[in-house]
Amino acid sequence: MADFLLNAWYAGARANELGEQFLARRLLDQPILFWRTANGDPVAMLDRCPHRFASLHTGRRVGDAVECLYHGLRFDAAGRCTRSPYSETPPANAVVPTFPVVEHQGMVWIWMGDAARADPALIPDHPHNVRADLRPIFGHETFSGNWQLGNDNLMELTHLFFLHTSTIGGYKPDAGPVEGEEYVVRQVGTQVHSHTGTPRVPNKAPIDMGVDPVAHPLIDRWNDIVWDMPSAMKFAMCATPAGGPRDVAPYMYQSHLITPETKCTSHYFWNVARTFELTPEGDAKYLHFFGNIFRTEDAPMIEDIQHNMGEADLWDLKPVVLPRDRGAVLVRRLVARALAAQAGAEAIAAE
């Protein structure tokens, strides 16, 4: 059974990565070439010439066309061959597959399944990335692990208090249960919503949560996660003086968007929109801060897990399930169901 869900929007690139230059990236185990037309429209096409299969990203940009470096066939943004140096009319089968692509809220989304089903209304909504009163930053990392390990990592945040104690997870005095702690997971339509609240924790964090640590040494903090199929998550993080009102605006929003690269390697696009240090220096500082946490703490852990799991399915290894795994387990179930439905549809289509 295929491991990737094809009929879904995936984050393919950050919008600011696409310009005049070609961007080559492997997604869902296919070579993809991104570029923009002269009027700014993003383009995604297979990064493989249909003649002798050279990578098109090594070619030349000629107006709104890509000219293959090897023998000079030229393709427009729709993948049609517009010029062959060898005949008046280009060969009819000289076509490069293209993919629906939409720029939305700072990201470029690609649909690699049935193009007829690529409805832009299905793109996950992450409006914090375009809010004028926040400063969104856009990061991109890769990790050596199956994309579902990225879902697992982000839907199960107790790892903060063990893996991230030296960076963002050191605030909980005892990593065990705290009285009054909240953990609610529910399915809402095709989404999974997860709420985690921890009362009366030390007001200590390397970021400004909007509560004065001198006046309020203890805070209640919580985060709300919304997961969209197959691997888009948004976080809203809040804090209030211990026992204080809950109707406070988040001090930070985050997007976590996983896109399979190959079966056992993945892209991780992350965006953070914050309410503090709203300066270019703050942008640079937090791009490094959050990216470095992932690179030095999460990615090595995921890589270790992938190594230990090999090609096995998670459930075949009979993992211990802990109470705080509910969100990650629900996501796993929904993905497994969708993959099975996809396999069923493919089997019927092949009959």
Q: Which does 264 bind (CB under 5 to 8 A by kind): Fe ion, ligand FES, none?
A: none
If binding is defined by CB under 6 A, does position 73 make contact with ligand FES?
Answer: yes
Single-letter code of the amino acid located at 278: L
Of the candidates 250, 257, 252, the residue with the CA atom closest to the CA atom of residue 228 = 257
Give strand pairing partners of 340.
none
Q: Which does 8 bind (CB under 5 to 8 A by kind): ligand FES, Fe ion, none?
A: none
Among 68, 108, 118, 205, binds ligand FES (CB under 6 A): 68
Q: Which does 54 bind (CB under 5 to 8 A by kind): Fe ion, ligand FES, none?
A: ligand FES
Shortest distance in whole angstroms from residue 50 CB to ligand FES: 8
Q: Which does 68 bind (CB under 5 to 8 A by kind): ligand FES, Fe ion, none?
A: ligand FES
The structure tokens 């199929």 sit at: 229
Binding mask 248-277 for ligand FES (x = CB under 6 A): ------------------------------
Stretch that binds Fe ion, among 7-15, 106-114, 256-264, 298-306 (CB under 5 A): 298-306
Shortest distance in whole angstroms from residue 125 CB to ligand FES: 39
d(Cα 336, Cα 316) in Å, to the nearest integer?
13
Q: Which residues, 6 or more positions from 80, have their beta carbon under 8 angstroms from its beta carbon?
A: 90, 95
Query: What tokens appear for 290 in the block?
Result: 């959050």
d(Cα 282, Cα 86) in Å, to the nearest integer?
55
Among 15, 31, 55, 70, binds ligand FES (CB under 6 A): 70
Give strand pairing partners of 137.
272
Among 1, 16, 37, 52, binds ligand FES (CB under 6 A): 52
d(Cα 110, Cα 190) in Å, to the nearest integer?
20
Q: Which is nearer to ligand FES, 86 or 315 (CB)?
A: 86
Query: What tokens appear for 346 in the block?
Result: 């493919």
Q: Where are the beta strands (DSSP E) in the chain?
A: 9-14, 23-27, 30-36, 42-46, 60-62, 65-67, 74-76, 81-83, 101-104, 107-111, 135-143, 182-188, 191-202, 218-228, 232-241, 252-262, 265-274
Stretch that binds Fe ion, among 141-149, 232-240, 295-303, 324-332 (CB under 5 A): 295-303
Residues 215, 219, 222: CA angle, nearest 5 degrees: 150
Residues comprising the chain, all counted: 351
Find the helix packing angle between 147-155 and 299-309, rounded to 10°: 120
Among 47, 152, 156, 298, binds Fe ion (CB under 5 A): 298
How far from 47 is each of 34, 53, 67, 127, 271, CA to CA, in Å?
9, 9, 12, 31, 27
Q: Which is nearer to ligand FES, 54 or 122 (CB)?
A: 54
If binding is defined by CB under 6 A, does position 71 make contact with ligand FES?
Answer: yes
How many binding residues for Fe ion (CB under 5 A)? 1
Q: Which is nearer to ligand FES, 18 or 49 (CB)?
A: 49
Q: Which does 298 bind (CB under 5 to 8 A by kind): Fe ion, ligand FES, none?
A: Fe ion
Shortest distance in whole angstroms from residue 97 CB to ligand FES: 15
d(Cα 211, Cα 59) in Å, to the nearest integer?
54
Q: Which is nearer to ligand FES, 68 or 157 (CB)?
A: 68
Residues near ligand FES, by CB under 6 A: 49, 51-52, 54, 68, 70-73
Q: Contact positions toward Fe ion, by CB under 5 A?
A: 298
